[in-house]
A and B are shown apart, each in its own frame.
Chain A
């Protein structure tokens, strides 16, 4: 089955330290991968995506993600965390099924950055 997994429910880091939020996927064919961020009681905001090309993708707010095909991973990273980065982060993958295509999400990882 096509799916995406975020193995950590919560990640805690100190401000100024690097952060990593993990994501692994299972899809048929070449994946289209996305990261989104959600603040309380709000919709999702797009951070970055991998479609093809360079395995290191740079996105909004200083975030980047590394696509690793052999490990089927797409981890989100930031060299120096800010308290304002504290939010809920979702990894997503576009899947193709009999009815067309849809975007499926992981369960989300809560990032908490302490000052």
Chain B
């Protein structure tokens, strides 16, 4: 079945450590997105990519980095510069830029700083 796979489901990070969240899709979608979800704040856009080898900062990109070397993959690295990384992270994709098609979401990764 086609879909988006995020891994791991749960991730624990020590202070000062970088961690990478995986997002893979087999929907042949062009655009991919990373959102952060905190209680009472909804979903905030971290980074998005409309095409391979290109990506743009969202509203809260500081302390995060991404790459888009393959159409299917859009990993998110939470760096030590992100001072409050504990949150639920969601990856999404859409078929093409500007389209009217809805986004498809992965099941999320819950990151906790220990």
Chain A residues contacting B2 (CB-CB under 8 Å) are none
**B interface, by DSSP: helix, strand, loop or mixed?**
strand
A74, B90: Cα distance in complex, Å: 24
Decide: A99 and B107 in contact? CB cutoff 8 A.
Answer: no
Decide: A101 and B100 in contact? CB cutoff 8 A.
Answer: no
Say whether, besides A43-B107, A106-B42, A49 and B100 are in contact (CB < 8 Å).
Answer: yes
Decide: A43 and B106 in contact? CB cutoff 8 A.
Answer: yes
Chain A residues contacting B33 (CB-CB under 8 Å) are 102-103
Least CB distance from A73 to B in Å reads 18
Chain A residues contacting B48 (CB-CB under 8 Å) are 100, 102
* A interface residues, Cβ below 8 angstroms from B: 6, 9, 32, 34, 36, 41-46, 49, 51, 90, 92, 94, 96, 99-108
Give 23 pairs: A residue, B residue, CB < 8 Å, sorted on A. Answer: A36-B105, A41-B88, A41-B110, A42-B107, A42-B108, A43-B107, A43-B108, A44-B92, A45-B105, A46-B102, A51-B100, A90-B43, A99-B57, A100-B98, A101-B31, A101-B50, A101-B97, A101-B98, A103-B45, A105-B35, A106-B42, A107-B42, A108-B42
